[in-house]
A = this chain, B = another copy of it.
């Protein structure tokens, strides 16, 4: 039985990971999607505001997506998401980081226009092994209600 809307009450849903992130992954993502010197070039990165090679913020978001997918989305009756309410990049993603993901449900409500659906607003926080928050993301996901709930 997949997880349904009813399985996501407000509060802490869970913590997922760790997910190890290598320098090669950081460089490969940057080369494909975000070729800025601070994500690609050790020497330029050392002189940047982030003082050393850091992963693209979009790489971190994509890793958070993967951790959400493995953690619960691929076993939930999810129909996708209309977007992202907010992302805050708080501290740089570094080569060798071991990420964990705290997942909280901020709000869960049923859809007025589509009574078989619920909208669950998640807040996800990615942390490194020291517990430092690297990014926070708030995003709604559409999830089916339990059979017979309507």
Contacts and interface: CB of A to CB of B under 8 A. Distances in A.
Interface of A: 29, 32-36, 38, 48-50, 56-58, 61-63, 65-66, 69, 73-74, 78-89, 135, 142
Given A29-B62, A35-B69, 8 more contacts: A33-B62, A33-B69, A34-B66, A36-B69, A49-B80, A50-B80, A83-B135, A87-B87
Contacts of A57: 80-81, 83-84
A29 to B, nearest CB: 8
A49 B141 CA distance: 13
Interface of A is mostly: mixed
9 A-B pairs closest in CB distance? A33-B62, A84-B87, A83-B88, A83-B87, A33-B66, A58-B62, A49-B79, A58-B65, A83-B89
A74 B33 contact: no
A73 B79 CA distance: 34
Contacts of A29: 62
A34 B89 contact: no
A74 B32 contact: no
Nearest to A38: B80
15 contacts: A29-B62, A33-B63, A34-B69, A36-B69, A36-B80, A38-B80, A48-B80, A57-B80, A57-B81, A57-B83, A57-B84, A58-B61, A81-B89, A82-B88, A85-B86
